[in-house]
């Protein structure tokens, strides 16, 4: 995908979809979770809901048809964020994603058509930098996983934590919904090769830089960022990329930008960023 899309509704999502949605309060959370999981019920998928506490999760699915029967049969599983990602260590992002892979295979072996998971991981954002870095790495790996197995993922975040915390996570998703803010940028890929799509202007610059540092900061040596899908970059965006490059360099990680279009390259030149391999058109 080259341009991030807005999430109009949770209905109609299919395996391979990895979407991001903020919510404002318990009622809004339930309004997202119930139709999402109910569609999975009708598609004979295994259902998983992760959130802050079991009482909160039960309340969120109080309107789900056949909720109690689904729970009793194990078709619907509730897990707390603390159980999945305990504070003070917990499981690394690759292990968490591997558990999703295993759960999907177990569901298929049990005759289900796939897995549908809704995850409220706002708690990780509230843990500060360590939680955010784990979350960013997890989101990148999860994005790859949903393209390989019959998994449909809805990532949920409480809007009360504020846009400064939410923005860097939103840009890691190809489909986003953050209130009235239109989705502009999407950072995809993992390991040493990333791609930046859409537009990076003043409204997205800091979010993209934070996400880039968190994701690239886990890769030893160097990272290549393909800018061929970046349609627009302003001075604020170029300044943010420059700042990200300097921070990564301080950690011994080289950031190389490639594939930039001419208009993007002009802004990069202002900050001495060399878009090696850029298009000459």
| 210-250 pLDDT per residue, tens | 999 988 887 788 999 999 999 999 999 999 999 999 999 99
241-265: per-residue pLDDT in tens? Answer: 999 999 999 999 999 999 999 999 9
**Strand duo 18-23 + 76-80: pairing:** unpaired
Give 177-202 pLDDT, tens digit per residue.
776 777 889 998 877 899 999 999 99
- The secondary structure of residue 40, as a DSSP letter, is H
| Domain limits, the chain | 5-181, 186-269
Q: How high is the pLDDT of residue 90? A: 47
Cα(21)–Cα(166) distance, integer angstroms: 10
Quickly list DSSP for 111-173. Answer: T-S-EEEEEE-HHHHTT-HHHHHHHHHHHHHHHHHTTTSSEEEEEEEEGGG-HHHHHHHHTT-
Q: Which two tokens stand for residue 190?
A: 């993992």
| CATH class of the domain whose range is 186-269 | alpha beta
Q: Using 50, 70 and 90 to split pLDDT, how confident is the model at 95?
A: confident
The CATH H-level (homologous superfamily) assignment of domain 5-181 is: P-loop containing nucleotide triphosphate hydrolases (3.40.50.300)
pTM for the full model? 0.81
Read off the pLDDT of residues 116-170 as tens digits, 9 standing for 90 and up: 999 998 888 888 777 777 777 777 788 788 889 999 999 899 999 988 888 888 8
Residues 6 or more apart whose Cβ sits within 8 Å of residue 55: none
Q: Give the pLDDT mean for 80-88.
A: 75
């Amino acid at each position: 995908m080259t341009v991030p899309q807005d999430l109009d509704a949770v209905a109609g999502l299919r395996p391979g979809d990895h979407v991001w949605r903020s919510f404002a309060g318990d009622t809004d959370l339930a309004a997202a979770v119930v139709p999402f999981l109910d569609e999975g019920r009708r598609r004979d998928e295994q259902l998983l809901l992760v959130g802050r506490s079991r009482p909160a999760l039960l309340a969120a699915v109080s309107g789900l048809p056949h909720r109690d029967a689904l729970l009793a049969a194990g078709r619907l599983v509730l897990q707390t964020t603390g159980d999945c990602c305990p504070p003070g260590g917990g499981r690394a992002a690759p292990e968490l994603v591997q558990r999703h892979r295993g759960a999907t295979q177990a569901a298929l072996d049990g005759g289900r058509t796939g897995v549908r998971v809704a995850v409220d991981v706002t708690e990780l954002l509230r843990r500060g930098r360590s939680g955010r870095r784990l979350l960013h790495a997890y989101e990148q790996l999860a994005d790859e996983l949903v393209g390989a197995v019959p998994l449909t993922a809805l990532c949920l975040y409480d809007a009360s934590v504020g846009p400064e915390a939410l923005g860097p996570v939103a840009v890691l998703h190809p489909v986003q919904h953050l209130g009235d803010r239109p989705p502009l940028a999407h950072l995809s890929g993992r390991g040493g090769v990333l791609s930046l799509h859409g537009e990076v202007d003043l409204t997205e610059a800091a979010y993209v830089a934070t996400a880039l540092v968190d994701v690239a900061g886990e890769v030893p040596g160097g990272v290549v960022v393909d800018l061929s899908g970046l349609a627009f970059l302003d001075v604020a965006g170029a300044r943010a990329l420059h700042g990200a490059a300097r921070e990564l360099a301080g950690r011994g990680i080289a950031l190389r930008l490639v594939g930039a279009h001419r208009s993007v390259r002009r802004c990069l030149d202002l900050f001495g960023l060399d878009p090696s391999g850029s298009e000459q058109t």
